[in-house]
Structure 1
Amino acid sequence: SDLWVGDPCNGVALFAVFLIFLIAYPGPLRHKLWFAPLGLLTIHLINALRIVVLAIVVTIDYELLNFQHDYTFYVIVYGWVFLLWAIWVKRFAPGRLRTSGA
């Protein structure tokens, strides 16, 4: 009963997608220098939590593993990366949309 994490599930691809977006999308370098490590840290923590929960799911009901792995956690992890992008665009990107009071 060993725990094994395959290369596609180790989070490195998520790190790359997040960083490529952050580098390519305009914004102040001073904000990128703190937002990038913070984003990578939170992605890593969510992915580590995902692995822990999947290990628990396997001990409870092995039949649930594939669904949780293939669907539930993809939505959560990629949803988090999307949320980070949305925060970047809304808060730090130049020329972001501004709403007027009129």
Structure 2
Amino acid sequence: MKHYLIEYKPFLLFLGKFLISYLILSFIYQSYLTSFDVKNHEVDGFTQVVSNQTEKLLLFFDCDVKTMKHPTEPSIKLNYNQKWIARVIEGCNGLSVLILFISFIIAFSGKINHTLVYILFGIIVIHTLNIARIALLVVLMYHFPDYKEFLHGVLFPLLIYGTVFLLWIIWVNKFSFYAKKSFEK
């Protein structure tokens, strides 16, 4: 048994750091979410920020868009050309994707300053992409309502998770301690 622990030590360290950071960040996020009254349709602050930023992005492109609190559920309605097209719920805000991204970077850590800068860089990229994703989704769902399921369920998750995967690959190959060990061999 000791032989296997030594042999698989890098994997076990990765797995341990990933699970611990993921669980801690998820606990913090869940604690944050419980501070909002879902029964009274209260929307968490970060989802409101994402909705407002999506609205501002569409307004920048001179779109007819308006956000408003949904009257019967904890979400923000997005109206495009005076038509209700989408709702932004807690799952749309991208925080769960950010938690996954950060946990992976911590698990494959590098120098502390490189790790922190890359996490900040990744947060900015993923958040910006998420805002653009929601804005583009609203426009496309307005013009192509028959493709709503494909756009929301396939194309845009592929875009966001594909970007996260690409950021992970760049991190592991360029900045993590693992990259340095592989490079030295």
Residues 21-40 of structure 1: pairs in structure 2 closer than 5 A: 21-40=104-123
CA-CA distance at 1:82 after TM superposition: 0.5
Aligned twin of 1:12: 95
TM-score, L = length of structure 1: 0.89
CA-CA distance at 1:98 after TM superposition: 3.0
SS at match of 2:87: coil
Mind listing any 5+ residue stretches in structure 1 that lack a counterpart?
none
Aligned twin of 2:166: 83
| Alignment partners' CA distance in 2, 1:81 and 1:67 | 20
Task: Kindly indicate whether residue 147 of structure 2 is the aligned counterpart of residue 64 of structure 1.
Answer: yes
| Structure having greater relative contact order (Cα 8 Å, sep ≥ 6) | 1
Higher Rg of the two aligned structures: 2
Pairs aligned (count):
100
Aligned twin of 2:175: 92
- CA RMSD after TM alignment: 1.7
TM-score, L = length of structure 2: 0.51
Q: Which has the higher strand share?
A: 2
Letter in 1 for 2:155: T
Q: Percent identity?
A: 32
Mind listing any 5+ residue stretches in structure 2 that lack a counterpart?
1-83
